[in-house]
Amino acid sequence: METLQALQIIWFLLIGILLAGYTVLDGFDLGVGSLLPLLAKEEKETAVLFTSIGPLWDGNEVWLLTAGGALFAAFPHVYATVFSGFYLAMMLILFALIFRAVSLEFWSLDNNRRSLWKWAFTAGSLVPSVLFGVALGNVILGIPMNESMEFTGDFFTLLRPFPLAIGILGLSAILLQGSTFAAMKTGGALHERSRAAAKRAWFLLVAMMIIAIALSSVYIPAGMTNPLAWGCTGVVFAALVIGRIWMNRDNDTIPFLMSSIACVGLWGIAGSLQFPNLVNAAGEVGLSLSIYNASSSRLTLSVMLIIAAVGMPVVIAYTIYVYRLFRGKVDLGR
């Protein structure tokens, strides 16, 4: 029979898996959108990129919705604190995702304003790519909270050097994910520009990793002694090195897979630094929200685990099926 503590740990891991899955899957279409003006020089190339992500992007966002729902049900105090404290940032993300979805549809319908919808899609991809990382950086660094688990800062409290660096780090990972995906799905000049963008995104990600480690030694020195975090850091750098080697070879799948592993490794670092906390309290360790003081009841966690055991294999199977169905390079001439 499961103990409450075991269930709390399981749900910490499951939510981490959902967030990592979202980053890997929706990360590439966020990356494609963020790089769209640099990659697509004409409407046909824009159409190729939109076609490459068109059958996939909305299914990818299911992982974010599932993670949010799981957080709400498993750790309601964390959900309440984060979504109320980060309200403005979350609304910016929400509106960006809405405009992203709308612009993708209207680009194919509104021929007179295609340039507008293209830039709307780019903006709708860039904003979440940065703000997700900024939010994670604040959660790791710690936010001001009171005894009622309420956020006591303001929007500008979130704009500190460490969270901003994590935001740029997250953006660079998404740019690498998007550019390697675009290289894998396209041909011709668009393919070459995608490979070149992947190499630039690679350098940016490596640089931001080094900066993030340096800032961590200043802002969260306790994390520098975490062996699991260092192990995940090693995984990230190993994946990046392998991916960079294969960028110069006639194989675009390996760089994308290595970029995906690097994204998972980044979440491994975050989870290692956080456990057992979900939201750190700035200055008051005793006020931090952990899996132990912010979780739902044992019954709720048990019922959710049964639902997850039934639902997640279906989602994974559907995801595999769709990706196999739309595998290969996009050819609008067919």
End-to-end C-alpha distance for the chain, whole angstroms = 56
pLDDT higher than threshold 50 for residue 139: yes
Answer yes or no: is 330 within a domain: no
As a 3-state breakdown, the chain gives helix, strand, coil percent values, each rounded to 5, of 80, 5, 20
Q: Kindly provide the residue ranges of all beta strands, DSSP E only, lying in 72-174, ordered along the sequence.
A: none
Answer yes or no: is 279 within a domain: yes
- Indicate the length of the chain as a whole number: 334
Q: Kindly report the backbone phi and psi dihedral angles of residue 132, in degrees, each rounded to the nearest multiple of 5, phi listed first.
A: -60, -45
Assign 1 a pLDDT band (cuts: 50, 70, 90): very low
User: Tens digits of per-residue pLDDT, 248-273?
Assistant: 888 899 999 999 999 999 999 999 99
Mean pLDDT of all residues in 183-189: 91
pLDDT of residue 2: 62
Q: Kindly provide the residue ranges of all beta strands, DSSP E only, lying in the chain, ordered along the sequence.
A: 277-279, 289-290
Least confident span in 69-73, 112-116, 194-198, 327-331: 327-331
pLDDT of residue 190: 92
3-state secondary structure of 224: helix
Q: Residue 41's domain spans which residues?
A: 4-325
User: Tens digits of per-residue pLDDT, 153-178?
Assistant: 877 888 899 999 999 999 999 999 99
Answer yes or no: is 256 within a domain: yes
pLDDT higher than threshold 60 for residue 108: yes
User: Tens digits of per-residue pLDDT, 274-300?
Assistant: 999 999 988 776 788 999 989 999 999
Answer yes or no: is 98 within a domain: yes
Mean pLDDT of all residues in 46-52: 90
- How far is 69 from 298, CA to CA, in rounded Å? 17
User: Tens digits of per-residue pLDDT, 16-33?
Assistant: 999 999 999 999 999 999
Using an 8 Å Cβ cutoff, are 128 and 94 in contact? no
| pTM (predicted TM-score) | 0.93
Q: What pairing do the DSSP bridges indicate for beta strands 277-279 and 289-290?
A: antiparallel
Assign 334 a pLDDT band (cuts: 50, 70, 90): very low
Answer yes or no: is 332 within a domain: no
Answer yes or no: is 185 within a domain: yes
Q: Tell me how many domains the chain contains.
A: 1
Answer yes or no: is 276 within a domain: yes
User: Tens digits of per-residue pLDDT, 197-227?
Assistant: 999 999 999 999 999 999 999 999 988 999 9
Answer yes or no: is 239 within a domain: yes
- How far is 62 from 67, CA to CA, in rounded Å? 8
pLDDT of residue 333: 57
Give the list of residues 6+ apart from residue 307 with CB closer than 8 angstroms, or none.
Answer: none
More confident residue, 57 or 133: 133
- How far is 104 from 121, CA to CA, in rounded Å? 7
